[in-house]
Amino acid sequence: MASLSGNAVVGQSGGPTAVINQSLVGVVEGLRAGLMKSGAVKQVFGMRHGVNGLVKGNLVDLSQVPQDKLSAIAETPSAALGSSRDKPDPEYCDRILKACQEKGFRYFFYIGGNDSSDTCRIVNEMARKAGYELRCIHVPKTVDNDLPINDHTPGYPSAARFVATAFRADSLDNRSLPGIKINIVMGRHAGFLTAAAALARLREDDGPHLVYVPEIAFDTERFIGDVDRVYTKLGRCHIAVSEGIEDSQKRAIATTLIKNIEKDSHGNVQLSGSGALGDALADLLKDRLTKLKGLAKPPRVRADTFGYLQRCWPDASPIDKREAREAGRYAAQLAAEGAADGSVAIIRASSAPYTSSYKRIELKDVAAQTKHMPNEFLSGHCDVSPAFIEYARPLVGELPQVAWL
């Protein structure tokens, strides 16, 4: 069977990661090894800033980029093509389809998270209705690790590596100058990234001592009690808090504690790029613990919000680099094998030694879906389980070794 002839276009979408360029380069390499080699695809273009660049004709020809340049770009964090937060509605998707028709694009690769797979799905359906043969393949990416079916998603292991490294180092800092320290970690609805803080622990009394994820309703009174218990016992308390923690009514704690919080165009509360949640929790602890313990002055409470460094830190996990690259190549291979559409999923084959494989899944099964931490990854209301540690440890790679007297 002769492959569908036409050009290919690839884009990056959503929050960038340390390895999203690995996937971009993987797609280009996969095309060169398959559809471009066979002649079905003559050129591959990159969309500048996702579908926004596609509809505006802001494209870059990737066909002739030398391999050594591609390899260097793969090692560079963030989105080399530029990314986009546009969430296309049907009218926008129609413009995407028209742009593909005008340019003769027959292969559409989109690297991103839930929203990006949904864009793929809509464009794919519109193309079918319009009778325009277009292969729409989604390549997974998200530091939140919240795509279904996938064992984990490219970007998560590197962000988890940053979080675990940061907690290991900051736990030593907290031990050195004791006090209560809150670190706010990314993750709007899924706690996987916050949970990775637990990988930092080496000793029984190492931080984080408390881990709060969005999957478990956050109760401020219980939180104050947790901190008091640890602080009374150890004289310090090291805390991992997901930016997305919610109360039992599913209201973001950020909105219940902070006045004048910003909402984005999708109505989402602005969680990242602000230290407000950490500061609000720190103020709460200072106030309440002072009263609870009858202290003359508030205890030392500090809050750091790890922010965008989590997704762009240039020390990616070795497994993440490899898998993100291979996921991109696999997407191109799926297209070469005649897949009309689909998303790439990472499947874990074994944990020790860690091995994984890739498979095609339906766009509808990943589009706009959110995976949460399963119960077996949690322990009580403020810790993770050994099963989570076993799951996450191989992904992040070797962490910095530390020693103590």
- Residues forming the active site: 144
Q: Which of residues 75-134 bind a copy of itself (CB under 8 A)?
A: 75-85
Is there binding between residue 282 and a copy of itself (CB under 8 A)?
Answer: yes
CB 367 within 8 A of CB 116: no
C-alpha separations of 306 from 32, 73, 186, 200 in Å: 38, 25, 8, 15
Is there binding between residue 62 and a copy of itself (CB under 8 A)?
Answer: yes
Q: Which is nearer to a copy of itself, 76 or 256 (CB)?
A: 76
| Order of strands across the sheet that contains 7-12 | 59-61, 44-47, 7-12, 105-112, 135-140, 341-351, 354-361
Place of tokens 């962490």: 399
Q: At 224, which amino acid appears?
A: I
Pick one of 275, 338, 374, 386: the residue that binds a copy of itself (CB under 8 A).
Answer: 275
Tell me which DSSP letter residue 161 carries. H
CB 189 within 8 A of CB 289: no
- Stretch near a copy of itself under the rule CB under 8 A, chosen from 73-81, 209-217, 357-365, 390-398: 73-81
Q: How near is the Cβ of 66 to a copy of itself at its closest, in Å?
A: 11
Q: At 356, which amino acid appears?
A: S
Q: Binding pattern to a copy of itself, positions 309-328, x when CB under 8 A?
A: x-xxxxx-------------
Pick one of 38, 56, 177, 355: the residue that binds a copy of itself (CB under 8 A).
Answer: 177
Helix spans in 197-265 (H)? 220-234, 253-257
67 vs 230: CA distance, rounded Å: 53
319 vs 386: CA distance, rounded Å: 21
Is there binding between residue 278 and a copy of itself (CB under 8 A)?
Answer: yes
Is there binding between residue 338 and a copy of itself (CB under 8 A)?
Answer: no
How many residues bind to a copy of itself according to rule CB under 8 A? Answer: 64
N residues, the chain: 405
3-state SS, one letter per residue, for 84-135: CCCCCCHHHHHHHHHHHHHHCEEEEEEEECHHHHHHHHHHHHHHHHHCCCCE
Is there binding between residue 281 and a copy of itself (CB under 8 A)?
Answer: no
Is there binding between residue 169 and a copy of itself (CB under 8 A)?
Answer: yes
Q: Which is nearer to a copy of itself, 148 or 179 (CB)?
A: 179
CB 229 within 8 A of CB 292: no
- Stretch near a copy of itself under the rule CB under 8 A, chosen from 119-127, 173-181, 209-217, 333-341: 173-181
Pick one of 145, 194, 274, 317: the residue that binds a copy of itself (CB under 8 A).
Answer: 274
- Stretch near a copy of itself under the rule CB under 8 A, chosen from 95-103, 108-116, 187-195, 295-303: 295-303
Give the footprint of a copy of itself on this chain (CB under 8 A). 12, 15-16, 46, 60, 62, 65, 69, 72-73, 75-85, 165-166, 168-170, 172-173, 175-178, 181, 262, 272-276, 278-279, 282, 286, 298, 301-309, 311-315, 400-405
